[in-house]
Amino acid sequence: SQQGEEDPQALSIQEGENATMNCSYKTSINNLQWYRQNSGRGLVHLILIRSNEREKHSGRLRVTLDTSKKSSSLLITASRAADTASYFCATDTNRLAFGKGNQVVVIP
């Protein structure tokens, strides 16, 4: 199954800054999802964007999807120390396939 690939794989920012992560994939998808994982914990679903959608918002999160480029971005605005986590994109063709994740560190 295909996997999304996140970029950059590691990101360190100051509290209050915006954090942007990208995800690329290879084949057509039904939807793309973003998840968050705190160290040693299970993943938590953040947002799902369908293949016919281009942008979606949820609180401080903004997700875009460009199916022509087979890429998605996750923007976290006004980051907080509590946003420190790994972020994964997952693509749905028939079943969800996860990327390797993006480690984000927000420095207070």
Partner 1 sequence: SQTIHQWPATLVQPVGSPLSLECTVEGTSNPNLYWYRQAAGRGLQLLFYSVGIGQISSEVPQNLSASRPQDRQFILSSKKLLLSDSGFYLCAWSVRVGEKLFFGSGTQLSVL
Residues 53-82 that bind partner 1 (CB under 8 A): none
* Nearest distance from C-beta of residue 10 to partner 1, angstroms: 10
Q: Which position has the token pair 């690329």?
A: 24
Window contacting partner 1 (CB under 8 A); options: 13-21, 61-69, 77-85, 95-103: 95-103
Nearest distance in Å: CB 78, partner 1: 25
Report if residue 26 touches partner 1, rule: CB under 8 A: no
How far is the C-alpha of 50 from the C-alpha of 19, rounded, in Å?
Answer: 22
- Peptide bond just before 108 cis, omega within 30 deg: no
Question: Which residues, numbered 29-48, are part of the site for partner 1 (CB under 8 A)?
Answer: 30-31, 33, 35, 40-45, 48
d(CA 44, CA 62): 16
Task: Catalog residues that contact partner 1 under the rule CB under 8 A.
Answer: 1, 3, 30-31, 33, 35, 40-45, 48, 88, 90, 92-101
